[in-house]
Amino acid sequence: MELVSSFLDNFIILLNAMSIYIIIGLFIAGILKQVIPENFVSSHLGKNSTASVIKATLFGIPLPVCCCSVIPLAQGLKKEGASKGAIQSFLISTPITGVDSILATYSLFGFIFVIFRIISSIIIAITVGLIQNFVQKNDNIKNESFETTFKTSCCSSSSCEANKSVKKKFSFTNVFTYGYVVLFNSMAKALLIGLVLGSLFVTFMPKEYTQVLFENQFLTYIVIILFSMPLYTCATASLPLAAAFMLQGMSPGAVFIFLTAGPATSAITMSVVYKMLGKTSLIIYSSIIAVLALLFGFIYDTFFKELTLLTIITDHEHINIFNIMASVLMMVLIFYHLIKDTFSKKESSCSNKNIDLTLKPKFSNDIKKDIIFRVKE
């Protein structure tokens, strides 16, 4: 019973620490979605150049997109003629530096860690993109010429120009719909899992066991990079688990590696990179991220370790009403989306069964006789 009580306390502590920042971040993400034009990114990334890589990285920073939604966006950029380097830079910077993720990171790890995370993510994204474009110059040139021909033939009509001139009207309804329905739906399950795993880790993993690993800095780096790279970790949903690691004695540099390598190199993202850009691109993408994540983790532990403060309030008396309201709202949203997804899956399976039944051909006796007669003839 004492362990259950401790687990619930740790769960509430992690929830209160980040909930208000996630709620605010989702609202800002909804506003950005309304303000930024649909073709804003794709219209700037059509050339195989250093500028396209830098633009892809910088454009990815403010975009309200999680690590799930960035994949179809990257596929859209490829169709628009973006270079392989620009696509890879976009895949790295967008999920890591999303506004909801950055605010939640600040809530747990403080200002210095956030700034370091943003700057290092920009450097990693640009480095990967530039190396990719340098190694596979010919592939980008071929894709660029093909896409230019495609766009010229497609957009010769007035319909393309009409689509470009369409402007969205700002709507607060759409702000809330995108932030708390569309965007939150993609992270609800992963966020709950992260909170549960983080609470379990702090509750049931004694510090004397974890310190054996965490005392060896480089061994910790290797274990974390191998653990986080294939694992699907949403940039925001992985924060509770990262906070639990640090509470148990992990160095902030190792936490940085986990928060950088996880969202950018999940098994899903790497499989998409392989299918969309090829084997060479996947090797460049995963290896450069791993090397630079390890390097920046070491730099942080060397120069900024003493500046890191895990800003978690463990005393419930210091939790204000806004934290409580945000925590309640976030849990309501999590269970709403989980229940909604469960029912929608059941409804879709039932509807598929009904469709299968209605599609089965039903022949009358006269038709059957006619078919048999024609076959005999």
Q: Show the CA angle centred on residue 226, arms to residues 225 and 229, nearest 5°.
A: 70
310: which 2 tokens? 């895990």
Q: Show the CA angle centred on residue 312, arms to residues 67 and 99, nearest 5°.
A: 30
**Residues ≥6 apart with Cβ < 8 Å to 284:** 88, 128, 131, 132, 135
CA-nearest of 133, 51, 120, 52 to 92 is 120
- For tokens 């009207």, the residue is 169
The type of residue at 339 is: I
CA-nearest of 285, 282, 223 to 258 is 223
**What's the gap between Cα 218 and its chain centre?**
27
Q: Answer left, alpha or beta for residue 49, where phi above 0 means left and psi between -120 and 50 means alpha.
A: beta
Gap between the Cα atoms of 211 and 156, Å rounded = 65
What are the residue ranges in the chain where pLDDT is below 70?
37-49, 62-69, 71-72, 76, 80, 138-168, 206-212, 231-234, 306-319, 345-377
This prediction's pTM: 0.69
